[in-house]
Amino acid sequence: MRVTVIGTGYVGLVTGACLADVGNDVLCIDNDAAKVAWLKRGEIPIHEPGLDAIVARNAAAGRLVFSDAYADAVGHSTLIFIAVGTPSGEDGSADLSHVLACARELGRRLERDSVVVVKSTVPVGTNDQVRAAIGHELKQRGVAIRVATASNPEFLKEGFAVEDFMKPDRIIVGADDPRAAETLRDLYAPFNRNRDRVLFMDVRSAEFTKYAANAMLAVRISFMNELANLADRLGVDIEDVRRGIGADPRIGPHFLYAGVGFGGSCFPKDIRALMYTADEAGESAEILAATRRVNDRQRRILFERIGTFFNGELRGRTVALWGLAFKANTDDMREAASLALIEALTDSGAVVRAYDPVAQVNAQRLLANNARVQFAASARDACAGADVLAVVTEWLEFRSPDFDWLAQTLKARALFDGRNLYEPAQVRAAGLHYVGIGRGRT
């Protein structure tokens, strides 16, 4: 099939590349000419394992092409995906300006019956607005063609997006038009060979499903963080509790890890957007509000525990920090817990020596004006001259450090484990003071 994808951000680029990899002829459009130039040179603007190889392979085969011209978009295909950003507005609502701008641009150019699919994360009713925007422009031009819209939200985990797209556990399609439904069924046929993963529903339900999924996962994280803080007071190890409840098939093991709170481009934004939607609809969304409060508090937990260790005297102290990205296997710094920790530490007079194997360049750009932040060349280099170590991101290379070396290197001989990567007894046996999240600290 011939497919157009508008937007070459995280969702759009993965979508376009993976659709091309199963044989489709894909054109990716972006209004950022510089980004398009990078992509044409084979330079990938995001870190996503495996994506660079897929882009290179399909670009070389001629199945994946990049352009900054909307005229190319409508000329290439009658199946067009909108995959642009929907950032939070000041009131928490999803900013649909980019989505609706795409709809208007399409309405000004479409000449054939088409299917427009919204893949961006959008609130309920957005497809109605997209259809209206396209229809308005077509009417202004006096063009009488049929344009169906559909919702096809993404469920991609950063760091595993290629695998998630190629081997999806479900494909949600919201379509009120039979032609749109059949078009998307055909498109996703290569991903359904051993079982049908496509779940068809009405458009509004599909829009809502995306928010409901992210909200549920965020709730689980905040729930475990709240239990972890209680576990610390009760002398309970939350890791044992996690394994115990995760073994229950009604609960399952995923998203039960206590830590320093969730971040990234999805959960915080989508929680705010869903709360805004609930408020507009006259519902209170108390669980969502509590989830957000718990997460905001959890982002300060390591700072508070480091401060307690030093009796509130952080000025002149140096904290080694392992991990800057909001999670492993990505360079995404959006709403990363590391930023909150760094701000609190440096505002209190501490120096931070930070290291991340992938996100360092993005972090340097964000923290360029903070003179108290130093960037190290390696995990060990970050510990040089440091008093204590704080682990914020669960990168693989941090999983099995030399604790004896850390005990000899860290001047205050303390390790703050924000991801519960280590066994407390093993760390303490090396002579280090250990503080985790919910590991039984009294």
Which residues on adjacent β-strands are paired with residue 80? 4, 116
DSSP string, 164-229: HHHS-S-EEEEESSHHHHHHHHHHTGGG-SSS--EEEE-HHHHHHHHHHHHHHHHHHHHHHHHHHH
Q: Is 266 a catalytic residue?
A: yes
Q: What is the torsion angle, in degrees rounded to the nearest 10, for the CA atoms of residue 19, residue 23, residue 28 and residue 34?
A: 110
DSSP string, 335-373: T-HHHHHHHHHHHTT-EEEEE-TTTHHHHHHHTTT-TTE
Which residues on adjacent β-strands are paired with residue 389? 320, 415
Which residues on adjacent β-strands are paired with residue 173? 200
Residue of 18, 28, 102, 266 marked catalytic = 266
Distance CA 346, CA 245 (A): 38
**Exposure on the CB side of residue 136, measured as CA atoms within 13 A:** 11
Instruction: Evaluate whether 265 touches 273 at the Cβ level (below 8 Å).
Output: no
Structure-token pair, residue 423: 């066994």
DSSP 8-state secondary structure symbol assigned to residue 398:
G
Catalytic residues: 266
